Amino acid sequence: SQTIHQWPATLVQPVGSPLSLECTVEGTSNPNLYWYRQAAGRGLQLLFYSVGIGQISSEVPQNLSASRPQDRQFILSSKKLLLSDSGFYLCAWTGALGTGELFFGEGSRLTVL
Amino acid sequence: QKEVEQNSGPLSVPEGAIASLNCTYSDRGSQSFFWYRQYSGKSPELIMFIYSNGDKEDGRFTAQLNKASQYVSLLIRDSQPSDSATYLCAVLQFYFGTGTSLTVIP
């Protein structure tokens, strides 16, 4: 069966520090991968998605970046965090063929101080 | 204009009642619609998806789609306290509403 893992689960970072969140999917090949952010009291905002290794589409211009170095690995990064980067970050995958249902990781809660 | 809009609630219903959650979307060409449930502090999980006009039933849940009115709804029959959560409406994987918070009162 397919599983998705995301880490770290919680982190507290100072403004201006770097960020790296990692996500891996097991049990499937060539998934579509997504990064979302959910700020307090707001819906999910799609940040990046990827349909293949090295292919990244950015939905929202910001100080974040994403990379997909391997088929089932998706990384969200920042060189310098802002206060507004605080939120609940979710990685998700869909099959290349399927219903379009998103399968989410456990989430990473980021607090920038 | 937001792509997907939902009433944020909170919506409270007594146990055993029908909960009705509503969602409108702006892109008339949208084809695929999803309802996710999100418990506090947890990640969302799929409740239902719907592609065609009309109703789609799965157990206590019914999704309704009206493309002419650009309207999607989710009905929860015989609501249970375990249904208390935030319900997110989504168009494909790209646009989510802000969610409706539902509380089922025992």
Tell whether the model's pLDDT for residue A76 goes beyond 70: yes
Other C-beta atoms closer than 10 Å to the C-beta of B53 total 10
Work out the widest C-alpha separation in chain B, in whole angstroms: 41
Residue of A4, A57, A101, A103 for testing the chain B interface, max B β-carbons within 10 Å:
A101
| CA distance to A40, A70, A73, per residue, from B100 (Å) | 14, 36, 32
**Rounded Cα distance, B28 and A62, in Å:** 28
Of all residues in chain B, the percent with pLDDT exceeding 70 is 98
Provide, as residue numbers in chain A, all residues whose Cβ is less than 8 Å from the Cβ of B99: 43
3 state DSSP class of B77: coil
| Cα separations in angstroms, B72 against A12, A47, A96, B4, B98 | 38, 24, 25, 10, 14
Q: Could you read off the pLDDT of A22-74 as tens digits, one per residue? A: 999 999 989 999 999 998 877 899 999 999 999 999 988 679 999 999 999 99
